[in-house]
Structure 1
Amino acid sequence: MKKRLLSSLILAGALTVSSVPFNVLAHDELGDVNIEKGERAGYSNVSVPVMEGTKNLQFLHEEAAPQMETVRADGKQNSFADVYAHKGYAYLGTHTKNGGNGGVRVFDMKDPSNPKEVAVFANNDIPGTWQEKVIVKSVNTPSFKGDLAVVSVQQLDSKNPDSKGGFLLYDVTNPTEPKKLGFYEVTKKTRGTHELYLTMQGNRAIVLAANPYADYYSHGGEKDLQVVDVSDPANPQKLWEFDPRMLEEIPDDFNGYHWNSPDGKTRPVFNHSTMIDETGKYAYVSMWDLGTVIFDISNPENPQYLGRTDFGSDQQGSAHSATLAKGGNVLIETREVYNPTKEGYEQSYGYTRIFDIKDKTNPKLLSEFKTDLVDNLEDGITFANTVHDPKVHGNTLYLSHYAGGIYAVDITDPAKPVQVGQYVPERSDVWGVFVDRNYILASDIGSGLKVLLKNNSSSTPQSQGVR
């Protein structure tokens, strides 16, 4: 079922900033840029813009930026990755600085002005790994009832005989005392599980795991997208894998990564990220230059391909992450383009695209939203100017944007997105954003957790009805 290439709607803007050394992670690790993000020293030709800290968005203010206390026995601090919130607790993943193994750090958010770190978990389970992504959901299956955390595990070096990749499962019903339940392992030949998502389907708990390059490095033995039943967290079972060759436009000799696309270009195809709607029925899978691929997963043993987003022939695809708006009828797709001068493509860092998906077999492009960073090509190749992750609350879209901090965008009319604010901490390097009922959480790679509150909100515990 082929989709037509959609034309581009280019919105212009520019911002001139200075730079300092920085080190970034190219998910397109087989391409022309192969460097690590999450470290502040290294490649002298890679830089991150220095932006002045503005602690206020138009309608939000920074309520807390707690000092990250060292939790490792060797006294070294890790860099930080994604952030999630569940039942009044924040869960902060860690990245690769100082050898990884920083685990997930848990903060009690009863008083958002004073988050208290109460636990760390998944940090000593598998040597030579890092724990970037965590999803926490309330789960009720025949084998487990409580709050379940799934944590991505990636190898620093796949040649390390002691490391392995996949995802860990923890009981966090009592977040101050996490308990390990199980581990799901993917092929040793790839880094492991990069991003993942957890949902309930009736009395079953299902994880969608993104294992970049599993197809390529295992020569088709394992696939980048895997559906795993974790109803018994101690015994996760793979149900299904996605083979891109099921799509008409992918040739039978496809073996992961290199795709001779209909526009005549050779494009990268791998699974970077997964997410599932609130019903547990529809999955949105970020497959880089194959776009955001939409599945009906109501039967997780046999998901059905519905449709996918497409790109103009001058656009690098780089479908990185997705979220939904307007009751699931609008898809937000962020594109992590880190090389804005790639030959044959438009000169731009990654920006956001918004689709009408009422007909999931035929996503229709409504608009494209560019921030003031994405056309700044003066500082060389850097992740700092590209968009990263999207989250939606009501009619407001929040975008984490590395050097740009967090942008707030009014999508009341998804065809006409309008920037309404920006939050930029000092030495901004914001990886993730998460919207809870009463606050916004941000994770900065270098400095950790940030808490934002609405300007008219109280920070007293009584106002935070999230327990």
Structure 2
Amino acid sequence: MAGGFRLKKLKRTFLFSAILSAALVISSVPISGLAHDDLGSDIIEKGQGAGYGKNDTLILEGKFRNLTEVAPEMKVIRADGKQNSFGDVYAHKGFAYIGTHTNNGGNGGVRVFDLKDPANPKEVAVFAHNDVPGTWQEKVIVKSVRTPYFKGDLAVVSVQQLNRNNPDSQGGFLLYDVTKPYNPKKLGFWKVTKKTNGTHELYLTVQGNRVLVLAANPYADYYSHGEEKDFQIVDVSNPVNPSTIWQFDPRTLEEIPDDFNGYHWNAPDGKTRPVFNHSTMVDDTGKFAYVSMWDLGTAIFDIRNPENPIYLGRTQYAPHQQGSAHSAALAKGGRILIETREVYNPSKAGYEQAYGYTRIFDIKDKTNPKLLSEFKTELVDDIEDGVTFANTVHDPKVVGKILFLSHYAGGVRAVDISNPANPVEIGKYVPIDSNVWGVFVERNYILASDIGTGLKVLYKKDAHDDNEDAEEPENDGDNDDNEN
């Protein structure tokens, strides 16, 4: 890498100490959200609500004490002088890709940063920002792929409408060639029904020379009256011409009654629960998909034949628990499932008084996930401030035996899950007014995205950084994002 800066291969023990630090800080800029009054109070857009931490000082505890916040804030100002809010963060081959949220009318696209010098990330490109008017681009995933139609680094970007009544906007996802990160090139655009907001979260997976996107299109079933589904699998082997090959209809499950209307579910516990697809992910083998279906739980599919996936099983909840299955990650070679639950309303009648927390399952038998433990931070039971995103967990990432949680006001938490039945918090990074959206481990630095202030970089220099050859870190198959 340039400037004599060399990133070395990390030993597993070093990864554990370096892995936890990419949290974010929120600005006082208001974050716009999209209401879903016709769907009820269960639905709220990410970032809508207070979401501000109570911290007046930087907290570096446990494993985080050995980390340095070398790039504490990377705001991005558009050509018009305005700033977007920010979404998730991903990294690939020494470049960070950060999505943008809805502030100042969205259309912030994906910002690309060269991380040769982690203390001074250099923004080198922006893409997907001028393609579809009136939209925002929250989620981006990048992978190296090889198909009969395309060879290189492929990026998939979620596209969501700010206003479904805007005739010029359209939801779905964009595909870009980022083989040369300084010069991204648009390849294709997959469209979901105009009646829904678009594709919220998504996942890019490879099956040999075939490439698939698993798209989460919340309420597509509801808004299109069943014409399109919340969970769709799209073949993007030819990224110029993406093609939908399968959709999931929850009505096909025996436990879902025929009166299921694409959103409200008359659950066996007597409660009316919301069901929609919030997020998707796939294991490193490309064989099994884990789909966050809110109060239906995390649904597990065998997708080895992506035209005809097989539903295997799902996580379930006690009657007093809000489901709110938000995101998933895997550990121990895919034998352990991590489920985060984004409960933003801790005072909902008929349920426990608590924000969202993390659950850990044994899924050796994927048809029957078994709950091993639940992990809660000190924020979960702090409900005195009323409805806010501030205290709920958000996204999980796993590297080796360490679980990393982005936790809004709680910053980034590191949890030892070497014994999944007894998770133990071992580190905490909480910046001032924390509003951490996502976290990603890349070599010997930690990246995080903050809704208000964008990209954060935490770094620990290895003693051998001055050697010339940079190498990738060891990976035992448990890192769902250095693939996610």
Q: Please say if residues 321 and 389 of structure 1, whose CA atoms lie closer than 8 Å, have aligned partners that are also in contact.
A: yes
Match of 1:202 in 2: 208
Provide the residue aligned with 2:11 in structure 1: none
| Runs of 4+ residues deviating >6 angstroms | 26-29, 457-461
Q: TM-score, normalised by structure 2?
A: 0.88
- Give the aligned residue type for 2:132: I
Secondary structure in 1 aligned to 2:60? coil
Partner of 1:272: 278
> Is 2:343 the counterpart of 1:337?
yes
**1:188 is the counterpart of 2:194:** yes
Q: Distance in 2 between matches of 1:55 and 1:49?
A: 12
Judge conservation of contact 1:195–1:272 (CA < 8 Å) in 2.
yes
Deviation at 1:64, TM superposition (A): 2.4
Aligned to 1:96: 102
One-letter amino acid of the counterpart of residue 266, structure 2: N
Once the two structures are superposed, the pairs formed by residues 64-463 of structure 1 within 5 Å of their partners are: 64-65=70-71, 67-68=73-74, 70-454=76-460
CA deviations 1:181-201 (Å, max 9, x no partner) are: 000000000000000000111
Contact 1:38/1:80 (<8 A) preserved = no
Secondary structure of the residue aligned to 2:368 is coil
Cα distance in 2 for residues equivalent to 1:232 and 1:299: 18
Higher relative contact order (CA 8 A, sep 6+): 2
Structure 2 letter corresponding to 1:38: G
What is the count of residue pairs matched by the alignment? 444
Per-residue displacement from partner, 1:148-195 (whole Å, max 9, x unpaired)? 000000000000000000000000001110000000000000000000
Q: CA deviation at 1:246?
A: 1.2
Alpha-carbon offset, residue 434 of structure 1? 1.1
Instruction: Select 1:59's aligned residue among 57, 63, 69.
Output: 63
8 Å CA contact 2:34, 2:162 repeated in 1? no
Q: How far has the Cα of 1:465 moved from its partner?
A: 3.2
CA RMSD of superposed structures (Å): 2.2
Contact 1:339–1:381 (Cα < 8 Å) also in 2:
yes
Q: Please report how far the alpha carbon of residue 365 of structure 1 lies from its aligned counterpart in structure 2 after TM superposition.
A: 0.3
CA contact (8 A) 2:89 2:447 kept: yes
- For 2:47, what is the secondary structure of its paired residue? strand
More moved, 443-452 vs 311-320: 443-452
1:456 Cα deviation (Å)?
Answer: 5.7
- Aligned partners of 1:321 and 1:73: how far apart in 2? 34
- 1:376 and 1:22 map into 2 onto residues whose CA distance is 23
Query: Quick one: distance in 2 between partners of 1:373 and 1:24?
Result: 24
**In structure 1, C-alpha distance between the alignment counterparts of 2:458 and 2:154, rounded to whole Å:** 26
Structure 1 letter corresponding to 2:246: W
Query: SS of the residue aligned with 2:333?
Result: helix
**What is the DSSP-based 3-state SS (H/G/I as helix, E as strand, rest coil) of the residue aligned with 1:348?**
coil
Partner Cα separation in structure 1 for residue 204 and residue 464 of structure 2: 32
Deviation, 1:97, is 0.4
Distance 1:408 1:26, change over 3 A: farther
Which stretch has the larger CA shift, 140-149 or 440-449? 440-449
How many Å apart are 1:49 and its aligned residue?
3.1
Contact kept in structure 1, 2:275 and 2:295, CA below 8 Å: yes
For structure 2, the residue ranges without an aligned partner over 5 or more in a row are 1-27, 474-484
Residue 253 of structure 1 deviates from its aligned partner by 2.6
Q: Give the distance between the partners of 1:351 and 1:292, measured in 2 at CA.
A: 14
1:316-336 deviations in whole A, cap 9, x for unaligned?
A: 000000000000000000000
Are the equivalent residues in 2 in contact too, given 1:211–1:223 (CA < 8 A)? yes
Letter in 1 for 2:41: D
Identity among equivalent positions (%) equals 72
User: Is residue 75–residue 453 contact of structure 2 (8 Å, CA) maintained in 1?
Assistant: no
Task: Report the TM-score, using the length of structure 1 for normalisation.
Answer: 0.91
Partner of 2:10: none
Shift of 1:202: 1.3
Gaps of 5+ in 1: 1-19
**Matches for 1:32-51 after TM superposition, within 5 Å:** 32=41, 35-38=44-47, 46=50, 48-51=52-55
